[in-house]
Structure 1
Amino acid sequence: MKKLLTAFAAVAAFSTVAHAADSVSVAATAVPHAEILEFVKPALAKDGVDLKIKVFTDYVQPNVQVAEERLDANFFQHQPYLDEFNASRGTKLVSIAGVHVEPFGAYSSKIKNLADLPKGAQVAIPNDATNGGRALLLLAKAGVITLKDGAGITATVKDIAENPKAIKVRELEAATLPRVLDQVDLALINTNYALEAGLNPTKDALVIEGSDSPYVNILVVAEANKDKPALQKLAKALNSADVKAFINEKYKGAVVPAF
């Protein structure tokens, strides 16, 4: 009987270890990333993966914690942002799945058309390099400013060549932009933060990126862990037909599948 109990305990312990090995912790911003992860959670559970979602409100700690292997993955950013982060921090983080595009938009509580933007307007943009550049590119595309030749996704305010309305650009933390909407004439806001604030990008944005945006939101892991079976199962689940249908139905164009 003692041998039988010992054998049973060993099997139970092995099962617990096996279950723990299939646990995956993912950092995500609340909307739409955590919502998409919640959607795939039941399917992953059937596939032997226990998905644990940790919601963040910033764009730094999710990468730091994955790089330090305190978390297994994150889902909140696009490739240009990841490239800049790796270059500036010396981290080795990689994408294992492209999931969706969140068309970047310009919002205002004071005007209803960009043509009505007043002289000397206060315009708020994200203060991180890639999203700040993305905002300036959208303003240039809309004709509000002109950028110097060669200014790309990392454009800064120093790259503004022509500023006919003499707009004053304020660079602020991306997450705070919806909260300052009443304090500025125009704010360039990432769609995840716009959605969290109750804004509808397809209806409320005065100008918005097209569906051909290169800023695909990605599932990111430490390079050393990219081939782990549980993470590959998560990547596969996020690129499923069910997720595509969920995104199209829930976000109605505010978030666009990228696969």
Structure 2
Amino acid sequence: MTTSFSRRTALAAGFTLALAAGPALAQGQVLRIGVTPGPHAEILEKVKPLAAQKGLDLKITEFSDYVVPNQALDAGELEANSFQHEPYLDNQVKDRGYKIIKVGLTVNFPIGIYSSKYKSWAEIPDGATIAIPNDPTNGGRVLLLLQDKGVIKLKDGVGFKPTVADITANPKKFKIIELEAAQTPRSLADVAAAAINTNYAVDAKIDPASAILREDAKGPYVNLIAVRAADKDKPWVKTLVEVYHSPEVKSFIAERYKGAVLAGW
């Protein structure tokens, strides 16, 4: 079974009581892995029995935002996490000093913009409100998508993390607001459209195929398994990645998500 924690609950508990129930890793059995809800959690549940055959007992904990899983991993309350792409991890390492590294690729979630009020992007009126994630990499990812589709223009040289302040042209005068990524599905009732990461769309029972704008599947946003740098050469790391990359898991992803989530290895 997957355990679930909100950011507030996890922080308030200091993680220790919530996550320390399993046997120590030194016994060679238990790996505590942090994920976000939706496909990341579902795929790890598929990985779990395959990992057990290799002697790994996965204890999966869901977190409701993108901040806490890296905090918990860096603090030693998890052995690994599986929820983020490399630009996001790089930003977290730079800003927070985490000693966390990528050890294997997982899946790609082409980000989409959704609306409960309009059936196509062309229908959205001038001056409408568009919600995007408030973290630098995913928010920037959406701004790059909007530029790619001709909706806005950004300053030259902004890289993968442009901000709203980098918009140089917004012909339809859209009001772009920033929300926590996990809250964007709930915002659909209040905004014209919202950019929603696929894992949160799936968790909210939103069909990824219903996106009115969607980024191309190619790019730097394949998600990954992260561990502490000190653990990178431990045998369980290689085993965990090999099990995740098994044909059984790849087939599960293709059949379960039908192109909304893509195997990235």
TM-score (norm 1): 0.91
Distance 1:91 1:32, change over 3 A: same
2:87 to 70, 80, 83: 80
Q: Distance in 2 between matches of 1:129 and 1:104?
A: 15
Q: Distance in 2 between matches of 1:59 and 1:128?
A: 8
Matched, 1:209 2:200: no
Partners of 2:25 and 2:31 within 8 A in 1: no
TM superposition shift of 1:137: 0.6
Q: Distance in 2 between matches of 1:241 and 1:36?
A: 13
**1:1-259 matched pairs, under 5 angstroms:** 20-202=27-209, 204-259=210-265
Q: Distance in 2 between matches of 1:17 and 1:101?
A: 32
Residue identity in the other structure for 1:126: P
The unaligned stretches of length 5 or more in structure 2 are 1-22
Deviations 1:217-247 (A, max 9, x none): 1000000011111222111111111111110
- Partner of 2:119, secondary structure, is coil
Q: After the TM superposition, which of the residue ranges 62-71 and 225-234 deviates more from structure 2?
A: 225-234
Q: Distance in 1 between matches of 2:100 and 2:215?
A: 27
Distance 1:143 1:17, change over 3 A: closer
What RMSD over aligned residues (CA atoms) do the two structures have, in Å? 1.4
Q: How many percent identity over aligned positions?
A: 49
Write out the 4+ residue segments of structure 1 that deviate beyond 4 Å after TM superposition: 16-19
- Partner of 1:30, secondary structure, is coil
Q: Distance in 2 between matches of 1:214 and 1:46?
A: 32
- Partner of 1:54, secondary structure, is strand
Distance 1:183 1:17, change over 3 A: closer
Residue identity in the other structure for 2:57: D
Residue identity in the other structure for 1:255: V
Partners of 2:24 and 2:30 within 8 A in 1: no
- Partner of 1:152, secondary structure, is coil
| Bigger radius of gyration | 1
Q: Distance in 2 between matches of 1:83 and 1:102?
A: 18
Deviations 1:44-84 (A, max 9, x none): 11111111101111111100111011110000000000000
TM superposition shift of 1:29: 0.9
Partners of 1:102 and 1:256 within 8 A in 2: yes
- Partner of 2:49, secondary structure, is helix
